[in-house]
Copies of this chain bind each other. A is one copy, B any other.
């Protein structure tokens, strides 16, 4: 094994309440997420590479190296970034699951990328050559710095998983980053990229290289934004968060992926520079956006038109954009706030978003993806053409690839690094944030060695058993997150023949003791299905409830309507009562077919309906059985 130089994790802040653990310290051993991580490695990564070749986005680098661009270049201006996200995903995957074949592929792709880099470090297949727009000439929509950000993140992943690397990806990245600092550094070009991303990437590149210029550059980019430097598009400067300085902003707004990436980078800067005011602003932005602009799934960004956050309470389920990448950005933002503050609400949102956005996007086979994640499908979607990239706007079912295909590689890099989000350590102990069958072997800052086995069939079961593998030298605290829905949870500690039990409320349950090998801390979360009401200010779901089970949001699919109601739309369904049985069955009234196509507004009139029952399914599984109509929010009959 190579010498381990840094924790093998995507984000390594220098300070903060909690310290991340690496992919070599936390291993997922089975269950819900293991299945998805495995599918991601075995099916999704080859699938992505296939499409990157087929669509010409990877061959663009070959054309660049051959000097034959721009003729033959394919894809949008940000196509380079998908190759970098693939490399990042592959690097994390190789860090947990060595594979000679993938290693060879990785080296080959890196070589093709490296061959396209110009002498001064510049790297982008869309800009700078005769016949192409000049370098840095289209900062608003050119995505040049955005693409480099993904390059840096790929290099960071590679450097942390393979510190002995000889493929040169890190040096490709640092040469490009040096150019960025030379061009955009203090006193240089004072622009920012229309799509935030390079900020968090530069922060991490600084952490992996120790080069403070990159951290300073991240800081410059964060501070420069919000002063109207970018040419506004028809959606205004808010679209790329150029309307207000980050530290003057009170909620997430504008393009939802851009907003979250920027916020993540700003946390990095705030933590690195010790800027408490900036961190406070980001905490406020997170709180207000989560309270007023986030779907029950954790999805963010209501608007299709500009892929943007709506206003407060504007959360239409049937026109939810809820882009997969915005969910991933939200996880990155939340994770950084969790590390900085240690507060459990951030891990709550990460869990919700993982189960209901990240797990929803890929098909069971891992070869088709949702770009947007509607909460209400009114017409059966049409299966995507397997041979043609789908338009993101019109895809109504999972599609193998998109004309703008940011989401599939973004899912891939997230799942490939997923174990890094399960647990952290602090001076006093270890924190479990996400529950999965897993092993954790690490050491506390004190040097105390930790060896835990987490036994869980979560979320099917709410019982999570943490089995201690070694005697402790001293007392330490095992912290267990109790989700906001976890009222009624119990924690029992079995040590030797003794059992101590408690019933902690939502938040964090702390068990402090000098643990002995064989001790078992058992957390039981109440995962019976529950009825959830929306804030009454969310107009679009007034009079509706959702059914949740543990971290999973459930939904009704039309294919689950009983035989007598087969073929009916979920639009005609009412819950007979706001109740659900333990096996996820709800009692329905389904409005009878109504041929009265009259004016739909007038005095109240009764409608005949037919009774029935249906079993709900997890939202993340919807449409895995083929096209259906679907809804999460179920109207309750009056």
A contacts, CB < 8 Å to B: 234-236, 287-288, 290-292, 294, 296, 303-306, 310-314, 316-319, 345, 348, 376, 378-379, 391-394, 403, 484-485, 531-544, 546, 571-572, 574, 591, 597-604, 607, 633, 635
- Please, how many angstroms separate the alpha-carbon atoms of A290 and B600 in the complex? 8
Roughly how many angstroms separate A379 CA and B376 CA in the complex, as a whole number?
A: 26
How far is it, in angstroms, between the C-alpha of A288 and the C-alpha of B597 when the chains are bound? 6
Is there contact, CB below 8 Å, between B376 and A296?
no
Q: Which residue of B lies closest to A238 (CB)?
A: B394
Give the nearest-CB partner of A377 in chain B: B311
Nearest residue (CB) in B for A352 is B599
Show 9 A/B contacts (Cβ-Cβ < 8 Å), sorted by A: A235-B391, A290-B597, A290-B599, A296-B601, A305-B305, A306-B393, A314-B318, A533-B602, A542-B542
Rounded to whole angstroms, the CA-CA distance of A305 and B294 in the bound complex is 20
Contact B534 A601 (CB under 8 A): yes
Measured CA separation A601–B313 after assembly (Å) = 12
What residues of B have a CB within 8 angstroms of the CB of A635 in the complex?
Answer: 536, 539, 542
Residues of B within 8 A of A534 (CB): 600-601
CB distance from A11 to the nearest CB of B (A): 24
Report how far A310 CA is from B374 CA in the complex, Å: 14
Chain B residues in 8 Å Cβ range of A312: 378, 571
Q: In the complex the two chains form, is A540's CB within 8 Å of B537's CB? A: no
**Which of B236, B537, B574 meets A391, CB within 8 Å?**
B236
Which of the residues B288, B376, B394, B597 comes within 8 Å of A539, measured between beta carbons?
B376
Secondary structure of the A contact surface, majority rule:
loop
Q: Is the CB of A607 within 8 A of B536?
A: yes
**A-B pairs, 7 with minimum CB distance:** A535-B600, A291-B597, A542-B543, A305-B305, A304-B305, A543-B543, A234-B391
Contact across chains for A597 and B292 when beta carbons are under 8 A apart: yes
A602 contact set on B, CB distance < 8 A: 484-485, 532-533
Contact residues in B for A287 (Cβ distance below 8 Å)? 597
Q: Which residues of B contact A306 (CB under 8 A)?
A: 393
Q: Tell me the nearest residue of chain B to A578, going by C-beta.
A: B604
Say yes or no: A394 contacts B234, CB within 8 Å.
yes
Contacts of A539 in B (CB 8 A): 317-318, 376, 540-541, 544, 571, 633, 635
Which of A291, A535, A571, A600 has the most CB atoms of chain B within a 10 A radius of its CB?
A: A600
- Given A236-B391, A319-B319, check contact A533 B603 (CB 8 Å): yes
Inter-chain contact B600/A291, CB cutoff 8 Å: yes
User: How far in angstroms is the closest Cβ of chain B from A198?
Assistant: 27
Given A314-B319, A319-B314, A571-B312, verify A235-B393 contact (CB < 8 Å). yes
In whole angstroms, how far apart are the Cα atoms of A319 and B290 in the complex?
Answer: 20
A544 contact set on B, CB distance < 8 A: 539, 542
Between A345, A403, A602, the greatest number of chain B beta carbons within 10 A of the residue's beta carbon is seen for: A602
Could you tell me the distance between the alpha carbons of A290 and B599 in the complex, rounded to whole angstroms? 7
Partner of A311, one of B316, B378, B536, B600: B378
Q: How far does the alpha carbon of A603 sit from the alpha carbon of B578 in the complex, in Å?
A: 11
Q: Are B234 and A403 in contact (CB under 8 A)?
A: yes
Least CB separation from A302: chain B residue? B319
Asked if B316 and A316 sit within 8 Å, CB to CB, the answer is yes
B535 A601 Cβ-Cβ under 8 A: yes
* Nearest CB of B to A157, in Å: 32
Q: How far is the CA of A540 from the CA of B633 in the complex (A)?
A: 11
A355 to chain B, nearest CB (A): 14
Query: Which B residues are in CB contact (< 8 Å) with A540?
Result: 316, 318, 539-540
Contact B598 A291 (CB under 8 A): yes
Asked whether A292 lies within 8 Å of B535 as measured between CB atoms, the reply is no
Interchain CB contact (< 8 A) of A304 among B303, B311, B394: B303
Closest B residue to A597 using CB positions: B291
B residues less than 8 Å from A546 (CB atoms): 601
Q: Is the CB of B484 within 8 A of A599?
A: yes
CB–CB B394/A236 < 8 A: yes
Closest to A574 in B: B536
C-alpha spacing A510/B597, complex, angstroms: 26
Are B604 and A533 in contact, CB atoms less than 8 angstroms apart?
A: yes
B contact residues around A311 at 8 Å (CB): 318, 378-379
Residues of the B chain whose Cβ atoms lie less than 8 Å from the Cβ of A317: 539
**Distance to closest chain B CB from A388 (angstroms):** 12
11 additional contacts, CB 8 Å, given A235-B391, A291-B600?
Answer: A234-B393, A236-B391, A291-B597, A311-B318, A316-B318, A316-B540, A484-B602, A532-B603, A534-B600, A539-B541, A543-B543
Inside 8 A of A318's CB, which chain B residues have their CB? 310-311, 314, 316, 539-540
User: In the bound complex, what is the Cα–Cα distance between A550 and B548 (angstroms)?
Assistant: 45
